[in-house]
């Protein structure tokens, strides 16, 4: 019997994502000037106020208030009527030095013997459902909000948009787990005030269905375009008026959108957030490493769908173990346990080895903090950072290194494919 599956996404202007982006902007600035920085930074945003808290061990000094304000302005909170804008909001910093008790468990005389920055389990997932090996419902949810943000910045076809928004996509699957059609789409977007609520709702619905969705469809592969139809149920701003939004409408915190950040409810999640953490924290680095493994295994033909788990003890170099679930999609005679054993030999999952393989000691994290950490485009960009004393550094930074298919040939050799 056919079934329905739903995933959601939130925009860069969602309060939790504002917090994530500020935390990751701080990570990037610390690492740009001291690549060995150890940082765990949390952010809270609410009406007219930002609170920064966390632990740092770094040789550099930053103007954290300036970084927070620049991030908020870049998102689009630039007007006093939003009750939260980068130029006028208060910024309180309660960042202090990292605990020596934690640090001695992580740092070693030899970097390759670096211990895990925390205990826990991390998951990576990949599926053939889309070209970027991501679950389709989440991929579409992200695409809808990225296109909505483009329309907001263009301020031409739709002129009333504000930064906060959410989307949700429900897909009907066949018994053999093949997407058949899009059943429902939900879009809630913050907007300027209108004179009449009824006219406002009609205008927003018309613009989303007739302007936004066609722009999204036009950028999709042909087989995915075919899942859109006239029978889709649209819920556009279903609660009605959405003028009060962003951190004024709802307090935002770093790390509250971990399912949006990963696989939209597919696969699994170990529970640890990513943003605000340097790569010595395996919550982040090992989640990227397991995604890299899962994607390369699926691309190499080991299975059509794969979940990878790795686990660690704080301060311990070697992982506790590796688990693989192929959901019965492996096309050859090999158990998941046998696949896991080969993966353990093929991929070095010691924390420092992960940092080196994926080039994680680079200021690559601001781009991850909205629209998902997985399934993104691997590319190199140029970034410039400035310290309070005026010192400026410009770096070429490779983004989303865990999305590279650079182990496909090695996987094929290891599995005889």
Report the pLDDT value the prediction gives residue 272, as an integer from 0 to 100: 95
Q: Does 47 fall in a domain?
A: no
Report the pLDDT value the prediction gives residue 118, as an integer from 0 to 100: 80
Residues 292, 217 share a domain: no
The model's pLDDT over 319-358, given as tens digits with 9 standing for 90+, comes to 999 999 999 999 999 999 999 999 999 999 999 999 999 9
Report the pLDDT value the prediction gives residue 145, as an integer from 0 to 100: 98
413: Cα separation from own chain's centroid: 31
Q: Does 340 fall in a domain?
A: yes
Q: Does 92 fall in a domain?
A: no
Residue 14, annotated as binding a ligand = yes
Q: Which domain holds residue 124?
A: 120-128+280-415
Residue 241, annotated as binding a ligand = yes
Of 216, 244, 272, the residue that ends a domain is 244
Residue 49, annotated as binding a ligand = no
- Could you give the percent of the chain with pLDDT greater than 70? 96
Residues 306, 391 share a domain: yes
Of 244, 268, 302, the residue that ends a domain is 244
Report the pLDDT value the prediction gives residue 116, as an integer from 0 to 100: 82
Report residue 315's pLDDT band, with 50, 70 and 90 as the boundaries. Answer: confident
Q: Does 254 fall in a domain?
A: no
The model's pLDDT over 99-158, given as tens digits with 9 standing for 90+, comes to 665 555 566 556 666 778 788 999 999 999 999 999 999 999 999 999 999 999 999 999
**In CATH, what number is assigned to the domain containing residue 297?**
3.30.300.10
Residue 250, annotated as binding a ligand = yes
Of 194, 229, 244, the residue that ends a domain is 244
- Could you give the percent of the chain with pLDDT greater than 90? 91
Residue 242, annotated as binding a ligand = yes
Residues 399, 299 share a domain: yes
CB neighbours of 251 closer than 8 A, spacing ≥ 6? 15, 44, 45, 46
The model's pLDDT over 179-211, given as tens digits with 9 standing for 90+, comes to 999 999 999 999 999 888 888 899 999 999 999
C-alpha distance from residue 30 to each of 64, 75, 305, 392 (Å): 10, 21, 37, 13
Q: pLDDT at residue 414 above 80? A: yes
The model's pLDDT over 351-398, given as tens digits with 9 standing for 90+, comes to 999 999 999 999 999 999 999 999 999 999 999 999 999 999 999 999
Residues 395, 370 share a domain: yes
Give the mean model confidence (pLDDT) for residues 78-98.
94
Report the pLDDT value the prediction gives residue 113, as an integer from 0 to 100: 67
Burial of 301 (0-12, 13-18, 19+ CB in 10 A): middle
The model's pLDDT over 65-86, given as tens digits with 9 standing for 90+, comes to 999 999 999 999 999 999 999 9
Residues 389, 317 share a domain: yes
Residue 165, annotated as binding a ligand = yes
Residue 55, annotated as binding a ligand = yes
Q: Does 149 fall in a domain?
A: yes
Residues 343, 300 share a domain: yes
Residues 291, 233 share a domain: no
Total domain count, the chain: 2
Residue 164, annotated as binding a ligand = yes
What is the DSSP pairing of strand 161-173 with strand 179-191?
antiparallel
Q: pLDDT at residue 223 above 80? A: yes
Query: What single DSSP character describes residue 320?
Result: S
Residues 140, 124 share a domain: no
Residue 206, annotated as binding a ligand = no
Report residue 53's pLDDT band, with 50, 70 and 90 as the boundaries. Answer: very high
- Block residue for tokens 């605000």: 276
Query: What single DSSP character describes residue 251?
Result: -
Q: Does 36 fall in a domain?
A: no
Report residue 97's pLDDT band, with 50, 70 and 90 as the boundaries. Answer: confident
Residues 234, 142 share a domain: yes
Residues 292, 238 share a domain: no
Residues 320, 217 share a domain: no
pTM of the model: 0.95
Residue 66, annotated as binding a ligand = no
Report residue 10's pLDDT band, with 50, 70 and 90 as the boundaries. Answer: very high
Q: Tell me the average pLDDT of the chain.
A: 95
DSSP secondary structure, 48-108, as one string? TEEEEEEEEE-S----HHHHHHHHHHHHT---GGGT--TTTSEEEEEEEEPPHHHHHHH--
Residues 202, 152 share a domain: yes
Residue 266, annotated as binding a ligand = no
Q: Does 296 fall in a domain?
A: yes
Q: Does 113 fall in a domain?
A: no
Rg (CA), the chain: 22
C-alpha distance from residue 286 to each of 33, 162, 240, 357 (Å): 24, 35, 41, 12
Report the pLDDT value the prediction gives residue 108, as an integer from 0 to 100: 54
């Amino acid at each position: 019997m056919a079934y329905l599956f739903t995933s959601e996404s939130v925009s860069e202007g969602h309060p939790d994502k504002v917090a994530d982006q500020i935390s990751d902007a701080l990570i990037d600035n610390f690492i740009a000037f001291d690549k060995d920085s150890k940082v765990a930074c949390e952010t809270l945003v609410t009406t007219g106020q930002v609170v920064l808290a966390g632990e740092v061990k770094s040789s550099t000094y930053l103007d954290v208030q300036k970084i927070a304000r620049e991030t908020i302005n870049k998102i689009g909170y630039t007007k006093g009527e939003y009750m939260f804008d980068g130029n006028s909001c208060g910024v309180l910093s309660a960042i202090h030095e990292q605990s020596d008790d934690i640090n001695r468990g992580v740092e070693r005389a030899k970097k390759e013997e670096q211990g895990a920055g925390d205990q826990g389990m991390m998951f990576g997932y990949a599926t053939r459902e889309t070209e970027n090996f991501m679950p389709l419902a989440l991929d579409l949810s992200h695409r809808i909000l990225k296109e909505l943000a483009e329309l907001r910045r263009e301020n031409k076809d739709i002129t009333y948009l504000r930064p906060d928004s959410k989307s949700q996509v429900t897909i009907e699957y066949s018994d053999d787990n093949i997407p058949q059609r899009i059943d429902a789409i939900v879009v809630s977007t913050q907007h300027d005030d209108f004179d009449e609520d009824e006219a406002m709702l009609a205008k927003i619905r018309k613009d989303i269905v007739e302007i936004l969705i066609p722009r999204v469809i036009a950028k999709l592969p042909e087989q995915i375009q075919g899942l859109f139809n006239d029978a889709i149920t649209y819920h556009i701003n279903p609660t009605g008026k959405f003028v009060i939004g962003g951190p004024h409408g709802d307090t935002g915190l770093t790390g509250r959108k971990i399912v949006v950040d990963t696989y939209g409810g597919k696969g699994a999640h170990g529970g640890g957030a990513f943003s605000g953490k340097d790569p010595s924290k395996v919550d982040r680095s090992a989640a990227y490493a397991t995604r890299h493994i899962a994607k390369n295994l699926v691309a190499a033909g080991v299975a059509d769908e794969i979940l990878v788990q790795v686990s660690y003890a704080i301060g311990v170099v070697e992982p506790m173990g590796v688990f693989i679930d192929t959901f019965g999609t492996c096309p050859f005679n090999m158990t998941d346990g046998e696949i896991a054993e080969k993966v353990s030999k093929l991929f070095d999952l010691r924390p420092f080895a992960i940092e080196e393989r994926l080039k994680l000691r680079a200021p690559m994290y601001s781009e991850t903090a909205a629209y998902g950490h997985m399934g993104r485009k691997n590319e190199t960009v140029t970034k410039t950072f400035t310290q309070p004393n005026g010192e400026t550094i410009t770096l070429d930074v490779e983004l989303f290194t865990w999305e590279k298919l650079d182990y496909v040939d090695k996987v094929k050799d290891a599995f005889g494919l």
